[in-house]
Structures are given as structure tokens and as C-alpha cells.
A = this chain, B = another copy of it.
Amino acid sequence: MGTLKPDAANYQSLLRHYIAKQDEHSLYGAEQISKHFIKNNVPPEEIVNLHNQALSALYPDLPEHIQHSMKFLLETMISYGIAHQEYHTLREQQSEIKSEIAVAANMQDTLLATTKPVIDGLDIGAVSVPAHQMSGDYHHFVTGEDGSLGIAVADVIGKGIPAALCMSMIKYSMDSLPEGTMRPQSILKKLNRVVERNVDASMFITMFYAQYFPKSGKILYSSAGHEPGFYYNAKENTFEEIKAKGLVLGVNPDTEYRQYERILHQGDMVILLTDGVTECRQGERFIENKEVLDVIATFSHLEAQEMVNKVYKHFERLQDFQLRDDFTLIVLKK
């Protein structure tokens, strides 16, 4: 506040000018002074004080009642001054926390990075976009020593920081599993225990795990309460829901998971997703499953990666560029 002195002279001369001319230019000057003060963290009561001093200087015979009234006004400004200082603190904190979250989101990107494996005779597309900076969706590809391809898709209830924290658990637990030799049902069983032990009961995670064997075209899968994906039958040109029953992760430590299987034929597709895709909302309206399939069908002639990109862009626009939930979509085309 060492800058107040020259400002005081400036204020006084602008005020005198304004009283004499009542011109817009002086009022513009008033605005500029006050913006300058705000920038320098000068609280509003200082302005009132400056005003009082300027008045007294300009009118040495200022009536006493006016002087008293200005002291009263000054008193009301003190609480605004406290609020104003808190405002500055809040701005600083806000920008700190924003950059903190950006760092964390970055870490999460590194953490959840998964490489789309290249597999002969299988075209893979994957897109995963968080609604906020941090994601509560997870997907991961595992190449097994037996030549199989494991695909995990999971969704933590909720979004944002808590979901992201929970998500990292799935990542580390998956890491500690023996490389791709376990079957879907055993993987879910194991992860279920980890989640149950580490996360309180209000939080849970849904997960779909599929394992594909390129040689036989066989796909094994199990679900822990996860949003069902779709199976596209090329021969009959039909989509069908991939039904799989199973309790969400983290509820009961003794849950066993059923395992399903199916054979993929030439041209068939498997579509895995999170509810951020199927529960897209347009305004207040939830879209129908049929609409999702229509959009997918529209782009199904494209390469898998281009296909999921186009589907994502379609729904992003539909939602006014503001995702309400994390969005993950994976397509396997044989």
C-alpha cells in the first residue's frame, strides 16, 4: 500500500475536476483508479478514506455532519474489506488447486496409459475421454503369454478426484496379476477382494473383462455389474446385447463370477463401453440404446479407431461439448 500517496493526489485532482465539470472523462478516471487499486489489493475502505481526505482537502470548511456521515460509511466498508482480502486469497487458492488438478490429471494419463496391441486378424479401436479433468473410467489391454488378448473396461461410481483415486487401485491391482494367464472370472474375483478390502461400502466399481483367443476366435468374458456391451453378427447383420450377470466389485468379498463364451466369425464386432456412452443425455432426455446402435452402425464401415472417434464426436456434439460422464468405447472387429 505504499503506492497510495501519489494515488491520493490523483484521486483528489480527478474528484475536483469531476465536481467542477461532471464529465465522463473524470468518471472513466475513477474507474481506472479503482481497477488499479483492486489489482494492488487495496481494500474498499481505503477508497472511502481517500475520498474523505480529498473532500476535507478540497473543502476545509466541510460541515461536521458530512464528516461524521463519512466516518459511518467507512465503518460499513470494513467487512467488505475483509471479504475483499478473502477474495484475493481465494483467487490464489483457486489457481493453485487448478494447477494441482492438472498435474494429477497428467499423472493419471501416464498411469492409465495402455497400448493397443497389434493382433493379426483383429482391428481394435478405443477412445476414453473424462467428463472432468480426472477420469473414473478405466480400460486396459493385456497381451498374455498364451497369445490371448485381455481387455478390461471399468467404471468407478462417480466422477472426478475420488473416482480417479479409486481407479488407480484397479490399475495397480491389475499390474500385480500374473501376466495374462488368468481367466476373466478369476480376475474379477481377485479384483473384487482388493476393492472390498480397500474401499468403503458406499463406493463401488463395475467391470467387464474379456479375453480373446486369436487362433480359435473364441472370446471369454465376465461382468461385475458393468454396462452391457454389444455383439454384432455380420452374417445376420444384427446387433445384440452382450448379457453377463455378476455383482459389482467391492460389495461381497466372496462373490464368484460367471464366465461366458462365444466365437467371433469374420466381420463380427464386439463393442465394449461404459455408461457414459449409453447414458448420454441430450438436454433433459436420455438417449435410447437403439440410437447408440444406429450411430455405431452408421460408422461401422470405417476402421475401428476411426469408427470410435466418429462415434465419440457425434455424442460430444449432442451433449453440447460438455460430457456429463466419463466416456469409454472400445470396438473389436474381426
Beta-carbon contacts under 8 Å, A1-60 to B: 14-15, 18-19, 22, 26-27, 30-31, 33-35, 37-38, 44, 47-48, 51, 54-55, 59
Which of B34, B69, B166 interacts with A76 by CB under 8 Å?
B34
The answer to whether A107 and B166 have CB atoms under 8 Å apart is yes
Q: Which of A97-105, A179-187, A226-234, A254-262 contacts B (4 or more CB under 8 A)?
A: A97-105
Whether a CB of chain B sits under 8 angstroms from the CB of A161 is: yes
Which of B22, B72, B94, B200 interacts with A30 by CB under 8 Å?
B72
- Residues of B contacting A106 in the complex (Cβ-Cβ under 8 angstroms): 200
The answer to whether A18 and B68 have CB atoms under 8 Å apart is yes
Task: State the CA gap A59–B62 with chains docked (Å).
Answer: 14
Min Cβ gap A307→B in Å is: 31
Q: Which of A83-91, A205-213, A265-273 contacts B (4 or more CB under 8 A)?
A: A83-91
The answer to whether B65 and A34 have CB atoms under 8 Å apart is no
Interface size class of A (residues with CB under 8 A): 35 or more
Whether a CB of chain B sits under 8 angstroms from the CB of A282 is: no
Contact A176 to B172, CB < 8 A, known contacts A59-B65, A72-B15, A90-B91: yes
The answer to whether A26 and B72 have CB atoms under 8 Å apart is yes
- Residues of B contacting A166 in the complex (Cβ-Cβ under 8 angstroms): 107
The answer to whether B44 and A80 have CB atoms under 8 Å apart is yes
Contact A73 to B97, CB < 8 A, known contacts A34-B80, A165-B104: no
Beta-carbon contacts under 8 Å, A235-294 to B: none
Task: State the CA gap A263–B235 with chains docked (Å).
Answer: 75
Min Cβ gap A67→B in Å is: 9
10 CB < 8 A contacts A-B: A18-B71, A19-B65, A26-B72, A31-B79, A47-B76, A55-B66, A83-B84, A84-B87, A111-B169, A171-B198
Instruction: List chain A positions with a Cβ less than 8 A from chain B.
Output: 14-15, 18-19, 22, 26-27, 30-31, 33-35, 37-38, 44, 47-48, 51, 54-55, 59, 65-66, 68-69, 71-73, 75-80, 83-84, 86-87, 90-91, 93-94, 97, 100-101, 103-104, 106-108, 110-111, 158, 160-162, 164-166, 168-169, 171-173, 175-176, 194, 198-200, 203
